[in-house]
Amino acid sequence: MQYILENSEIHEYLDSEIHENSILTLKFMKTLFFQQCFPPKHIRAVEEKEPLFDLSSYINSPNLSDVVLVTSDDKRFHAHRLVLCAQSPVLKSMLDSDLWTESKNREIAMPMVSGRVLQVVLEYLYTGRCLFPPDDLNLGIELLVAADQLLLEPMKRKCEKTLSEKIDVEVAVPMYQTAYHYSASQLLACSSHYLLLNYKEIQDPGHEVLLQLLQNHSPDQR
């Protein structure tokens, strides 16, 4: 059976049921959307393994450094091209190609990240560990975005796992929007599930977030 609802049908359902029959709403949401759009395969476990290397003594060290990374807030970090190229396909393309002017520059602008974000990114690149305060959700989201932009998939999954464990009424909407925009499948599944199970507590004037969720994950969009 295929479920495809027009906008008018969704609005009619929401207006008549969303605040009057929570049991029906929960059953409708879980059956129609969560189980179809987010099967268990989308929720990936993050394996905690001992790093295979530890170059922590070289993080932001001028010793053997051959490049300086400059962040959006004008913080400067000493780095090593070999490590950056080995860890990130994006940085390798930037630093090891004649097509990019950065390949010949001593200083490389990193306008997409702040100093505190790059500090954690470099720790990951040099040690394989992604450590940040789990209660600092803004930093976690910034790190997820940076990991996505630099194609650091294991780091991205670690950020998703940490953020997924911190979803509550106040942050469920921005978590969902971030996850959808950056294709963070585990965070998307968890935030969507939370929204559907706790929708009556969510601040969503006009049902805009719920409508977005339904439209983004309807069968004809997958």
Superfamily, domain 56-158: Potassium Channel Kv1.1; Chain A (3.30.710.10)
pLDDT tens column, 89-129: 999 988 888 777 777 788 999 999 999 999 999 999 999 99
Is the Cα dihedral 196, 200, 202, 208 positive or negative?
Answer: positive
Position 217 scores a pLDDT of: 61
pLDDT tens column, 54-96: 899 999 999 999 999 999 999 999 999 999 999 999 999 888 8
74 SS3 class: coil
The CB density around residue 203, as the number of other CB atoms within 10 Å, is 9
Say yes or no to pLDDT of 21 above 50.
Answer: no
Q: Please answer whether residues 171 and 159 qualify as being in contact, where contact means their C-beta atoms are separated by less than 8 angstroms.
A: no
Q: What is the mean pLDDT of the chain?
A: 80
Q: Pinpoint the residues of the chain covered by CATH 3.30.710.10.
A: 56-158
Say yes or no to pLDDT of 44 above 90.
Answer: no
Amino acid at site 74: D
